[in-house]
Amino acid sequence: MNFQQLRSVREAVRCGFNLTEVAAMLYTSQPGVSRQIRELEDELGITIFARAGKRLTGLTEPGRVLVPIVERLLQEAENLRVAGREFVDRAEGTLSIAATHSQARYALPHAVRDFRQHYPQVTLNLHQGSPKQVAEMLLGGEADIGIATEALAGYPQLVTLPCYRWTHSIVVPHDHPLLHGGPPSLERLAAFPIITYDRGYTGRSHIDDAFARAGLRPDVVITAMDADVIKTYVELGMGVGIVASIAVDPERDRPLQAIDARHLFEINVTRLAVRRGSLLRGYAFAFIEHFAPSLTRAVVEDALALAIGAEATTEAVTSA
């Protein structure tokens, strides 16, 4: 058993069982990968991959059990390297953060600025993507920390922690009817064409939920992945915008006016996620604490140590 065999197996799963692709990912030859996998199967005495003729098609029953162990093993190997680097220089290295546009644009800048002052030697890598992509970057080991409001739950391999709460605002051009007559109701709002986030982005689900519960079918005319695009179309008079309150700045967005909408839509919680079982650099904890002061190193480490579905043990004892 060696690491190259294990890497080949992990990568084969990730690449959809295409060994040619695996070889490219691991910078080696395709026959090499084929051999690595077969040798591991021989050593363990089982077949990990289901084959249709010569082609790999999926995992066998044993494979489904083994692959998670392989993943954990390689994760620990990575942890070893990370731990080494931590002792070489606590203040030098790389930190990869995956975040949605909203977070990268409005929530992260302060934390990033503070972090860079404290750790000028750390290369900060900011990846942007949909919540799903954020989760996958974490799972693939491309990102150390993920930040998003939606879709981070439902990955048992990720540990998620609440960072902060926020609400939506309605943005409209000056002299819009909604500015008069007090806080608007969902009914009044639904009378206008709506411009808001794509499904799966920045609290969109809470917006849909609110309208659905009220029995309303709003006319969503434009959707976008970020508030900047939404605001642009609102300025053009295409409709009424619904964005995260944090995304509205009275100074910058002078052509627009914001109406607080926290009475209409459920409160959103932005969450931070890390891969379960991963070892974080010291400065990663520092970044997290800059971003969400309640998430101290101790809190994050506790959450990382917690096992999947951990519950109280039964201390049932039979009498002899």
Partner DNA sequence: TATCCTTACGGAATTCGTAAGCATG
Partner DNA sequence: CATGCTTACGAATTCCGTAAGGATA
Binding site for its own copies (CB under 8 A): 1-3, 43-46, 61-62, 65-66, 69-70, 72-73, 76-77, 79-81, 83-88, 107, 161-166, 245-246, 269-270, 279, 292-294, 299, 302-303, 305-311, 313-320
Which residue lies nearer to its own copies by CB, 231 or 271? 271
> In angstroms, what is the minimal distance from the CB of 82 to its own copies?
9
Count of Cβ atoms closer than 10 Å to residue 212 Cβ = 11
Q: Which residues contact 126 (CB under 8 A, 6 or more apart)?
A: 97, 99, 104, 108, 112
Residue 253, SS3? coil
Which residue lies nearer to DNA by CB, 18 or 185? 18
| Per-position x/- string for 103-142, each x denoting binding to DNA as judged by CB under 7 A, each - no binding | ----------------------------------------
C-alpha 144/C-alpha 274 separation (Å) is 6
> In angstroms, what is the minimal distance from the CB of 62 to DNA?
16
Which residue lies nearer to DNA by CB, 6 or 97? 6
Cβ distance 127 to 111 under 8 Å?
Answer: no
Is 14 a binder of DNA (CB under 7 A)? no
> In angstroms, what is the minimal distance from the CB of 36 to DNA?
6
Closest C-alpha to 125, from 107, 99, 101 = 99
Angle at 197 between CA 192 and CA 198, to 5 degrees: 115
C-alpha 259/C-alpha 171 separation (Å) is 6
Judged by CB under 7 A, which stretch of 22-30, 109-117, 129-137, 233-241 contacts DNA? 22-30
CA 48 and chain centroid, separation: 30
- Window 29-68: residues binding DNA (CB under 7 A): 29-32, 34-38, 51-56
Which residue lies nearer to its own copies by CB, 195 or 246? 246
What is the sign of the dihedral through the CA atoms of 13, 16, 20 and 26?
negative
Residues of this chain that bind DNA (CB under 7 A):
2, 4, 17-20, 28-32, 34-38, 51-56
